[in-house]
Amino acid sequence: MLASFAFAVIGGVIGIAWSSPSFENPQEPRPAVFRLRSEVPVGDIGGRQILEQMVDLCRDVEEVLLIPPPERPIQVNLFKSKDSFEAFLIPRIPSAKGRSAIYVDDPEGGQIYLWHHPDIEQDVRHECTHAILHQSFQEIPLWLDEGLAEYFEVRREDWAENHPYLVEFKTVLNSQSVQRLEALEALEHVNQLTPEDYRSAWAWVHFLMHGPTPAREEFRQYLIDLAADSKAYPLSERLRARMPDMEVQLFHHLQEW
C-alpha cells in the first residue's frame, strides 16, 4: 500500500479535503480535476505550485485544442524518492523501471505516478497532458498522444519558440531526421517508440499547430472527427491530399520558424 500520503485536491481552488468525491469552486462552477497524494507533506514540496501548474495546463490544453474539460478526477501520486516510486510501482507496472513518471489509463479518470526530483514540472505537464487527452478522446493515436505531451511539457511561453527539439532541428538535424507521418501512425505500442519517434511526433504537432493554413485546418478538423469517431480518416491522408510535399514543408517550417 502507499505509505502515509498527504492529500490535496484542486479544481479552481486547493483544499485539504480528500474524503469528498467532488469539489466545486464557489466562484467558478467547475469540478475538481486533479487530486494529489503525496508521501511527504504537500507544503514541503511546493504542492500548491504543482497543483496550480496542473490546472493552468488543463486550461491551456482545452483552449488550444478546443476540447471540453475533464469530467472525471485525475489522480496524481507523488513519491518522495525514486526508490519509493520503484518499490511500489515495478511489481505492478514493470515498465516503470528507470522512469521518473508514468501515466496509467483507467475508467475512473487516470492515474499519474511520479517521484519528486528537480525536473518534476516537466514530468507533471507531460503526464497530465496524457490524462487530459484520454478523457477527451476515446482513443488517440500513439504518435499524437506523445507529440502533444511533448509539446505541452514545456511552459506556455516556450511552446512555439524555445522547445529543445526546435533548437536541435535548427542546428544539427536535417530533412531526414523526421519520421514520415504514415510511419508514426503505424506505431501502436509505447515500447516501440525511439527518441527519434518522440522528436518526430513533436515536430509534426508543431507544424500542425503553427504551420501553413492547410495543415492547421486539417488538424483542427481531424481533432473534431477523432473526438466523434476513434477510427477517423488518417491525418496523413488528409494532409497529403492538400500538401503532397508535406515533409518538405515541415522541414522548411522548422528551419525558418
- For residue 36, the model assigns a pLDDT of 86
- For residue 219, the model assigns a pLDDT of 97
Q: Give me the mean pLDDT over the 70-80 stretch.
A: 91
- For residue 44, the model assigns a pLDDT of 63
Q: Band of the pLDDT at 175, cuts 50, 70, 90? A: low
Q: Are 235 and 181 in contact (CB under 8 A)?
A: yes
pLDDT in tens, 194-238: 999 999 999 999 999 999 999 999 999 999 999 998 888 999 999
Lowest mean pLDDT among 59-68, 158-167, 233-242: 158-167
Q: Give me the mean pLDDT over the 20-35 stretch.
A: 45
Q: Are 205 and 165 in contact (CB under 8 A)?
A: no
Q: Percent of the chain scored above 90 by pLDDT?
A: 60
Which DSSP symbol is given to 156?
A: G
Euclidean distance between CA atoms 210 and 159, whole angstroms: 10
What pTM was computed for the model? 0.86
- For residue 24, the model assigns a pLDDT of 31
- For residue 41, the model assigns a pLDDT of 78
Euclidean distance between CA atoms 76 and 113, whole angstroms: 6
Tell me which of 12 and 84 has the higher pLDDT.
84
pLDDT in tens, 116-158: 988 899 999 999 999 999 999 989 999 999 999 999 999 999 9
Q: Give me the mean pLDDT over the 160-180 stretch.
A: 83
Residue 20 scores a pLDDT above 80? no
- For residue 222, the model assigns a pLDDT of 96
- For residue 45, the model assigns a pLDDT of 61
Going from the C-alpha of 181 to that of each of 123, 197, 206, the distances in angstroms are 25, 10, 13
Q: Which fold has domain 6-136?
A: Glutaredoxin (3.40.30)
Domain ranges of the chain: 6-136, 156-256
